[in-house]
Structures are given as structure tokens and as C-alpha cells.
Amino acid sequence: MAEELVQSTCVRALERSAQFTPGTRIDRWLFSILHSIWISDLRARKVRQGQGFVDPDALLAVDNHAFSDDNRHYQRIMQQVNALPEAQRNALFLVYVEGLTYQEAAETLAVPIGTIMSRLAAARATLARQTAASPVPQENRK
């Protein structure tokens, strides 16, 4: 699926190469194309299947090996992040995972910078509330 997404991105970039502004960052331009294709594909699948997002836990195979405390903590965080609304999750990943500035994230998602700031604030508040509601047990803290 990832390979198809990258291939579609390359094809669209080649088809629309005249839209690229020389002197700007090509990686941001390509990422915005990739994001657009990915969102369109998700929406199309949702319409075709008549359902929303599939719970990520339903896609994972059961692993009977014991998880370390760090892995369990990481899984809990990722479940909380995946539960965020899509717009907040996208802003969170672009800024905190991909390392884009607020301005770059805003340009990538074609929204005002204030929208990025608002989405990040809402995501942080939600994650903080969830963390406060279910703190990590004392023996799991380092």
C-alpha cells in the first residue's frame, strides 16, 4: 500500500511538475501531494465499504510474548493518539514526528497557521486529560 502511495505521488508530481515553484522545498511539495492522495484514498475506501476507520487493534496479530513496560506504555500512547480526530492527528504527526514548523505544516495541509496551532493545542489537551485519567503505574515509571 505504501509503495502504491509513493508511486501515485511520483506520477502526480511528474504530471504537475509545472506547479512546483523552483527555490522551494521539494519534499514539502511532494508530501502535500502524498497527503492529498492518501486522504482521497481513505475517503474513497470509506464510501465504497460503507464504514469508517478500522480500529488499529483489529488489524494487529495477537502476540503472545510478554511486552516490556516501555512497549506497553508506547502502545497506550499510540492508542490515545490514534483516537484523536484525523485533523488533530495529522497536525500532531507533521509537527512532532516529521519535524515541520507550524508554517510548513499549515502549507502542507493547506490551512491557516492558526488552525495548526488550534489543532495541536486541542490534541495536547486531550492527551493530557487522558494521561491524567489513566496514569502509568508507579512500577512502570523510570
Q: What is the pLDDT of residues 34-69, one digit of tens each?
A: 888 888 887 777 666 665 555 555 545 445 444 566
- Of 101, 107, 108, the C-alpha closest to 31 is 108
| CA–CA gap between residue 133 and residue 104 (Å, rounded) | 33
pLDDT score of 114 more than 90:
yes
Angle between helical axes of 26-49 and 102-109 (0-180°, round to 10):
50
Q: Answer whether 9's CB lies under 8 Å from 30's CB.
A: yes
**Cell numbers that stand for 62 in this block:** 495477537
Domains annotated for the chain, with CATH where assigned, are 1-53 (no CATH), 75-135 (1.10.10.10)
Q: Report the pLDDT value the prediction gives residue 69, as an integer from 0 to 100.
A: 64
Which is it for the CA torsion 100, 103, 108, 114, positive or negative?
positive
Whether pTM > 0.75 for this model: the answer is: no
Q: What is the pLDDT of residues 11-20, one digit of tens each?
A: 999 998 888 8
DSSP string, 23-48: TS-HHHHHHHHHHHHHHHHHHHHHHH
Q: Report the pLDDT value the prediction gives residue 116, as an integer from 0 to 100.
A: 94
pLDDT score of 76 more than 60:
yes
Angle between helical axes of 26-49 and 2-15 (0-180°, round to 10):
120
- Of 49, 33, 20, 32, the C-alpha closest to 104 is 32
**Of 37-46, 59-68, 82-91, 95-104, minimum mean pLDDT range:** 59-68
Q: Report the pLDDT value the prediction gives residue 5, as an integer from 0 to 100.
A: 87
- Of 124, 132, 129, the C-alpha closest to 92 is 124
C-beta neighbour count of 137 within 10 angstroms: 10
